[in-house]
Structure 1
Amino acid sequence: MNTQKWHGHATAVRVAASIGCAALVLSVTGTAAQAKPGDPARQTLAANDGWAAYGTGTTGGAAADAAHVHTVTTWAGFKAALAADGSAPKIIKVKGTIDAVSEGCDSLAAPGYDFDDYLATYAPESWGLDTDLSAEPDDSPEGLRRVSAANQDQTIKAVVPANTTIIGIGKNAGFKGASLQIKAVDNVIVRNLTFESPVDCFPQWDPTDGDKGNWNSEYDTAVVYGSTHVWLDHNTFTDGGHPDSAAPTYFGMLYQQHDGELDIVRGADYVTASWNAFTEHDKTILIGNSDSESTAAGDRGHLKVTFHHNLFSGLVERAPRVRFGQVDSYNNHFVADDSYSYSFGIGKESQLVAQHNAFTLPAGVSAAKVLKRWNVSPVTADDNYVNGTATDLIAVHNAQIPGEVLQSGAGWTPTLRTKVDPVKSVPRIVDCGAGAGRLG
């Protein structure tokens, strides 16, 4: 664990614990789900709880019969349970931590692939920075890297069908190195799981990326791609034992082995992310993956997402970065460290509403950095507090970054909210209740 990144969060947790986290969690987590007796795996999203409650709501696999309730302890067992019986309602209970790459990266490498050969072949002093590697033949170091990457892709991706609930059992359930693919389906619930971000075993060197070249990696922890009615609740997303701070450099650039923690793209709609912890990561959450007109046609009018009562701690950027979507972010706690770049990315045609959020920023980090303008799109940002003080995030941004003026007023008013907590209570409430192992 990167103790430097967690310092602010650990302090907040200690303070919260001193005023009685246990009682507080019991009083607040009940708003996150429609109350049902017995098994929490059969809980459904409460009415009005964010965009995932819109229309038909989100019930996941709550209607599953006994034959469609699975308890899994291995990666093979998990993938088999996902594939069984198509889109019939199913509940998958995850017990313990499941490693998607338990045999290590070497087990995925193509015969003949050698990283030292790769470095020697494509070093800028010999290869240069003008030609990418796309034309390299299959038997070249890059060709063998492509085969190795395809092996990892097939191994770590798990495709989630419609009408499914995936839930961790107890306080220590989750996945290492997995990429959850929620693609072109409806009605999915994912709860009470710790996800350690997948490590790209075979990043690609692109000499033409920027003026120095760059390493590019694949594999988001979770992808919501063209899907509807998805509820992500009480999960923890973290780089865990593989933080970027421990990554080496090659060719003078960070050997990047992580992509995003959560991507919501390609016309996905009606998503609620509540009571999650997003920690120790760089490019965290992307909503809408491109400005191009080829993707814009499918994204306009979609990408409706709610974030509430999430903890964003030790992150660099994208919490989230938004294109096109109507995104409602309220009652979240953002805890920054010295690696902080920004929280909210204002992208093409985005309609972000950011209200009643709390920000804990270290000395020397200005509140002007909370909002980042990528494109000219209006934003609503009021009743937000920075280090305990009410702060107009748009005004402070425009005063300190005059070349990137933000316009106020996203043009819509969120109505799908349950309880909105007083913003001064948000750090205490969220630090006590967010993340895996804290499901009430």
Structure 2
Amino acid sequence: MPQTGLVGWATQNGGTTGGGSAGATTVSTASALTSALNATGAAVIRVSGTINCSGMLRVRSNKTVLGNAGATIVGCGFTVNGDRNVIIRNLTFRNWSDDAINVESSATNIWIDHNTFSNGYDGTVDIKRGSDFVTVSWNRVYSHDKTMLLGHSDDNGSQDIGHLRVTYHHNWYDGSKQRNPRVRFGNPVHVYNNYYYNNAGYGVASTMSAGVLVEGNYFENVKDTYHLGEADSGPGSLVARNNHFVNSPAGQTGGSVAGIPYQYTLDSASSVKSIVTAGAGAGRISV
């Protein structure tokens, strides 16, 4: 069976528990959501219905944000800015005006799981400025361009080197154009068992001395599956193994990548399409 619990970098550094066993609070308005996310102390926040909002809502430490069936965030995004131990699951984000989820300023131990993203302005999940120990799993992205950026600029190595360790697994990059992900500095970054479909730009880019392991993914109708360097960013390292290609070429590899320190189960690449399309996105887990 595919692994649907927490796997990857967010299990390290003491693990990621979010609000843990704290009592749940249900919110259904923008003001209630904003207050709950920004409150101090551990909390489990259940989101109900469609919430229309604007800007970026700050999520403080020790929070689990969990969507009830059909929960949708329209017009705004979440930012985890220097906080730690946050879980965001089972939400649909659309039409955000900045990023859908932004993780920055040395935020650590973040799990972003089983969400659906479409039609936003900038990134779906952007991780930057020394953040670390993050898992991005079982999400679906469609009708969107710039998907997942890891490391925001070429001149931020002093803060980013030794950090930006992220696992991307069982995500469905469903026609999302580029940055699936685009990586700077992080090593090792683990991209495994994702389904890439009709990505018009590219799948994975490793830049600025990053080390990316691209493992057991399914690429279908992807002209540029993975490569080294991107735009003005110099090349990183990329190791590819056990991937499956349908009307897609094997990409550019080079260099070496640090070892993966955690345990994980690798699904057969040829099975990833059926596994991911059956399980990725909001509404695919019991809440």
* Aligned twin of 1:232: 112
- 1:302-348, Cα deviation, whole Å (9 max, x unpaired): 000001111001111100100000210000000115xx011111210
* Aligned twin of 1:279: 142
AA at the equivalent of 1:323: R
Take 1:198 and 1:392, find their aligned partners in 2: how far apart are those partners?
33
Does the residue aligned with 1:430 lie in a helix, a strand or coil? helix
Give the CA deviation at 1:59. 0.2
AA at the equivalent of 1:90: A
Does the residue aligned with 1:316 lie in a helix, a strand or coil? coil
* Aligned twin of 1:384: 243
Identical-residue share of aligned pairs (%): 36
AA at the equivalent of 1:72: V
Does the residue aligned with 1:178 lie in a helix, a strand or coil? strand
In the alignment, which of 27, 32, 40 is matched to residue 77 of structure 1?
32
* Aligned twin of 2:185: 324
The 8 Å contact of residues 57 and 77 in structure 2, kept in 1 or not, is answered as: yes
Q: How does 1:336-415 map to 2 (within 5 A)?
A: 336=198, 340-361=200-221, 366=223, 368-374=224-230, 375-387=234-246, 392-394=250-252, 406-410=253-257, 412-415=258-261
Give the CA deviation at 1:60. 0.1
The 8 Å contact of residues 284 and 318 in structure 1, kept in 2 or not, is answered as: yes
- 1:40-95, Cα deviation, whole Å (9 max, x unpaired): xxxxx3xxx1000002100000131x3xx2101111110121233x1x11010001
- 1:219-272, Cα deviation, whole Å (9 max, x unpaired): 111100020000011001111xx7xxxxxxxxxxxxxxx111111000000000
Give the CA deviation at 1:388. 7.9
* Aligned twin of 2:170: 309
Take 1:371 and 1:312, find their aligned partners in 2: how far apart are those partners?
17
| Alignment TM-score, normalising by the size of structure 1 | 0.61
AA at the equivalent of 1:222: I
Does the residue aligned with 2:271 lie in a helix, a strand or coil? helix
The 8 Å contact of residues 260 and 283 in structure 1, kept in 2 or not, is answered as: yes
The 8 Å contact of residues 114 and 281 in structure 2, kept in 1 or not, is answered as: yes
* Aligned twin of 1:221: 100
The 8 Å contact of residues 388 and 424 in structure 1, kept in 2 or not, is answered as: no
Give the CA deviation at 1:174. 1.9
* Aligned twin of 1:91: 44
Take 2:150 and 2:68, find their aligned partners in 1: how far apart are those partners?
29
* Aligned twin of 1:430: 276
AA at the equivalent of 1:407: G
Structure with higher Rg: it is: 1
Flag the structure with higher strand content.
2
The 8 Å contact of residues 197 and 261 in structure 1, kept in 2 or not, is answered as: no
Give the CA deviation at 1:373. 2.4
- 1:180-238, Cα deviation, whole Å (9 max, x unpaired): 01110110000000011314xxxxxxxxxxxxxxxxxxx11110002000001100111
The 8 Å contact of residues 277 and 311 in structure 1, kept in 2 or not, is answered as: yes
* Aligned twin of 2:4: 32
- 1:378-412, Cα deviation, whole Å (9 max, x unpaired): 211111111188x6433xxxxxxxxxxx52432x1
**Where do 5+ consecutive residues of structure 1 fail to align?**
1-26, 34-44, 101-154, 200-218, 243-257, 395-405
Aligned length: 281
Give the CA deviation at 1:278. 1.6
In the alignment, which of 75, 88, 100 is matched to residue 190 of structure 1?
88
Flag the structure with higher helix content.
1
